[in-house]
Structures are given as C-alpha cells and as structure tokens.
C-alpha cells in the first residue's frame, strides 16, 4: 500500500479545559492530492464568482471563502457523512464539500433554475439534506441554535450509550458575540449534546476587527465552563486531526465543545467591500505568503512525496478548465420564471413534495393563483 507520511505541526493547538490532541498527522500522497484538488477547486470557484460578479452575472450579497478552504476541507475529512453541518451565508465551499457541484453552485449564484437551490436561494442559501447539510443561513448567529437542534436530533435518535452522529455549526468571529450562541452552548452543555461550536475566526466581522467586537479574543474559551480547542485553520491536517479529536469527544456523550479556527479571508466581506480600508494590503499579502492553505499542501506534496511542480501545475490546469466549463454550463441555463416556480415549495408534504395552496395572492389580485 501507499507510503505513509508523518507531518508535525507543533503549536497548532491550544486547549481550554481539556487535552490538546497530538500536533501530528499521518497522511499520504493520494490524500494530499485530494485535499489539494478540493481546495484548489474551491479557490477557483470563488475567484470565478468574483469575476462573474464583476461581470454582473451574479448579484446581491456574495461572500467568498478563499483563504478559509482548509477548514471546509479538513472538517469534511474528519466528519462522517451522518454528521450534520450548518453554516452561515459564507457557504459556497461547504455546499461543495457536502455533495454539491461547481456548476450547481455557480448556476445558483447566476439565478438559474438548474442552480442547486433552483434560483431561490442565491449565494447565501445552499442545502443538501441528503448529505446532511442544512444551510447556508443568512441571519448572523441564527444557525447556531439551529445547529444545536441538529445535535439534539442526533442524540434523540441514537440509543443511549452508543456514539452519536455529531452536528457542527460554523460561524464567524463577529457572530460569536450573539447571545443566542451562548444560550445554545448552555443547553448543549446541560443536555450533553454532540455539538461542535465552530468559530471560523477570520479576524474580522465585516469591517470590525476582533478586538473591537469581542471583549474576549480567545474564542475557544468562550464556552467558559465548556471545553474548547483552538486550531490552525490554514492547515488542513491540523483541522482534520483536531476535528477528529473534537468529534470523538462530543460524539461520546461528553457534551459540546467550542472550536476556534484561526484563519483569514482574502476577499472583502462581500463583493461590495474592497476589504482594504480596515486592514492593510501588507497584512493580506503576508497571510497569502506565509499561511496560504493551498500552498501549505503543495509544499507538503513537493517536500514529502514524489509529486513534481509539473504534476501539480497540471492538476491546477485541469481544475481551472473544469471550473471554467462548469461556469459555462451554469451560464447556459436560464432563470426560473414560471408562476409554478414562483409559488412552489412554500409548503411541503411529508415526502417533501410541493403542496399547492388554495390561494396565493399576486401583486395584481386578478392574477392570483388558485390550486
């Protein structure tokens, strides 16, 4: 079988009220190539969004994930498919990790009916229930109690004493101050729910730096009496190993855990934010140079395996071509524009099928819809 590689990353973890996992991971070339490809696909997809937004084929709020790819990728590598995942509006890449396609994401952003959410949701709202992915939620903080409810359900459905599927709720450093998160943590701890409170600390909530929004910048200690773990969120392996550790803990009925991912967003908050008034270009450049999650994996491949620059370049080229093709296919679609698409899926039956309503009032009531 394939040669195993040991990668050490001392200092990647800081624990609060609990043990630090060992700062080391076993991996191999295939795995690293997979992470590389996944993350590079995410990166290209987000850059494509940026371009398309500028070309006005995408509109509304659009929040990009570039810089944070190691988190989505590492979490997915650590979790099982039965585990539930919910996140904020910064969700394109999680949608991808959880069963989505580049075409499905881009088509959605272009408002096409073959978009992943049929053009209903746009950038902020992706779902994939089959893959245990529950959004793509637009209201800051709100996904965290909801995520805790996923954990509640996972516990509810698991026979007492057996390991439970877990739930992870991702949110930002800005969101971390929301009171409903504290309320959820309290209930998760009281009821020992298999819940991971996962803060993607990218240092800013919109234009507000963490020191201006939180009196406590050690986010992993925010659970107070709840154990926490801070991890290097730019290193897919530290994310994966750390998350395995956390998953294990919470799935065993020990109660929730608070995770802080130390990360950075390259783009502005959303497409309307240049992202350079509240932080300077040097800071961004330094991040890209020293902590880029894709470069990290690339370097591992070059240093620890027989992968060559050319091999990686070829993969990049393939990915770029795939994303470009997906973008073309996305563009080739057309937006939903029928009355059926407008009024469908407001109410569902138990099988998830649309239930037409007796009367849906339209702006001109003479055009109102009757079932």
Contact set with ligand TPP (CB under 6 A): 63, 88, 90, 138-141, 171-175, 200, 202, 204-206, 269
At 84, is the secondary structure helix, strand, or coil?
strand
E-state strands within 145-304: 167-172, 195-201, 204-205, 208-209, 228-232, 257-262
Largest CA distance in the chain: 70
Q: How many CA atoms lie within 13 A of 250 on its CB side?
A: 34
Q: Which is nearer to Mg ion, 16 or 63 (CB)?
A: 63
Residue 363 neighbours by CB distance under 10 Å: 6
Q: Considering the rule CB under 8 A, would residue 354 count as an interface residue with other proteins?
A: yes
Q: Considering the rule CB under 8 A, would residue 347 count as an interface residue with other proteins?
A: yes
Determine the size of the site formed for other proteins (CB under 8 A). Answer: 92
Q: Which of 5, 67, 14, 7 is nearest to 221 (CA)?
A: 14
74 binding partner (options Mg ion, a second copy, other proteins, none; Cβ < 5 to 8 Å by kind)? none
Site for a second copy in 178-197 (CB under 8 A): 178-183, 185-186, 189-190
Site for other proteins in 95-154 (CB under 8 A): 108, 111-113, 117-125, 127-129, 134-135, 137-154
CA distance 127 to 347: 17
Q: Which is nearer to a second copy, 94 or 250 (CB)?
A: 250
The pair phi, psi for residue 202, each rounded to 5°, is -100, 20
Using CB under 5 A, which of 31, 108, 173, 292 touches Mg ion? 173
Q: Considering the rule CB under 8 A, would residue 279 count as an interface residue with other proteins?
A: no
Q: Which is nearer to a second copy, 159 or 179 (CB)?
A: 179
Single out the segment in contact with Mg ion by CB under 5 A; choices: 181-189, 194-202, 270-278, 346-354: 194-202
151 near 193, Cβ under 8 Å?
Answer: yes
Q: Which is nearer to other proteins, 152 or 220 (CB)?
A: 152
The pair phi, psi for residue 231, each rounded to 5°, is -140, 155
Q: What DSSP designation does 366 have?
A: G
Report in angstroms how near the CB of residue 170 gets to ligand TPP at its nearest.
9
Site string for other proteins, 183-222 (x = CB under 8 A): xx-xx--xx-------------xxxx---xxx--------
Q: What DSSP designation does 139 have?
A: S
Report in angstroms how near the CB of residue 143 gets to ligand TPP at its nearest.
10
Q: Which of 81, 78, 88 is nearest to 130 (CA)?
A: 81
Q: Considering the rule CB under 5 A, would residue 268 count as an interface residue with Mg ion?
A: no
Residue 21 tokens read as 């996992």
As a dihedral over the C-alpha atoms of residue 283, residue 288, residue 289, residue 290, rounded to 10 degrees, the angle is: 80
Report in angstroms how near the CB of residue 137 gets to other proteins at its nearest.
7
64 near 287, Cβ under 8 Å?
Answer: no
175 binding partner (options Mg ion, a second copy, ligand TPP, none; Cβ < 5 to 8 Å by kind)? ligand TPP
CA distance 186 to 189: 5
Q: Which is nearer to other proteins, 134 or 249 (CB)?
A: 134
Using CB under 8 A, which of 24, 213, 252, 357 touches a second copy? 213
202 binding partner (options ligand TPP, other proteins, a second copy, none; Cβ < 5 to 8 Å by kind)? ligand TPP
Q: Which is nearer to ligand TPP, 133 or 204 (CB)?
A: 204
Single out the segment in contact with Mg ion by CB under 5 A; choices: 23-31, 205-213, 331-339, 361-369: 205-213
Q: Which is nearer to Mg ion, 105 or 176 (CB)?
A: 176
- What are the residues whose beta carbons fall under 8 Å from the beta carbon of 337, sequence distance 6 or more? none
Residue 1 tokens read as 């079988």
Give contact residues for Mg ion (rule: CB under 5 A): 172-173, 202, 205
């Amino acid at each position: 079988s394939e040669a195993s590689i040991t990668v050490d990353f001392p200092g990647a973890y800081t624990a609060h009220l609990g043990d630090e996992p060992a700062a080391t991971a076993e991996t191999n070339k295939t795995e690293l190539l997979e992470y590389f490809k996944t993350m590079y696909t995410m990166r290209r997809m987000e850059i494509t969004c940026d371009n398309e937004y500028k070309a006005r084929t995408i509109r509304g709020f659009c929040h990009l994930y570039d810089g944070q790819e190691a988190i989505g990728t590492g979490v997915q590598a650590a979790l099982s498919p039965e585990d539930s995942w919910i996140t904020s509006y910064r969700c394109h890449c999680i949608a991808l990790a959880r069963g989505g396609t580049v075409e499905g994401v881009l088509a959605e952003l272009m408002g096409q009916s073959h978009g992943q959410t049929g053009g209903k949701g746009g950038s902020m709202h992706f779902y994939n229930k089959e893959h245990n992915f529950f959004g793509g939620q637009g209201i800051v903080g709100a996904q965290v109690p909801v995520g805790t409810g996923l954990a509640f359900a996972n516990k509810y459905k698991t026979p007492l004493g057996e390991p439970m599927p877990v739930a992870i709720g991702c949110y930002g450093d800005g969101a971390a101050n929301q009171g409903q998160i504290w309320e959820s943590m309290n209930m998760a701890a009281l009821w020992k729910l298999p819940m991971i409170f996962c803060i993607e600390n990218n240092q800013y909530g919109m234009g507000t730096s963490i020191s201006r929004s939180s009196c406590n910048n050690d986010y992993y200690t925010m659970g107070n009496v709840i154990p926490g773990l801070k991890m290097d969120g730019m290193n897919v392996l530290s994310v994966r190993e750390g998350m395995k550790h956390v998953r294990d803990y919470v799935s065993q009925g020990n109660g929730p855990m608070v995770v802080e991912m130390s990360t950075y967003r390259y783009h502005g908050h959303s497409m309307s934010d240049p992202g350079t008034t509240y932080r300077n270009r040097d800071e961004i450049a330094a991040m890209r140079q020293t902590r880029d999650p894709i470069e990290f994996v690339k370097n591992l491949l070059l240093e620890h395996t027989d992968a060559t620059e050319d091999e990686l370049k070829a993969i990049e080229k393939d990915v770029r071509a795939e994303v470009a093709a997906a973008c073309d296919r996305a563009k080739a679609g057309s937006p939903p524009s029928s009355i059926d698409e407008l009024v469908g899926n407001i109410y569902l039956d138990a099988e998830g099928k649309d239930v037409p309503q007796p009367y849906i009032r339209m702006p001109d009531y003479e055009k109102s819809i009757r079932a």
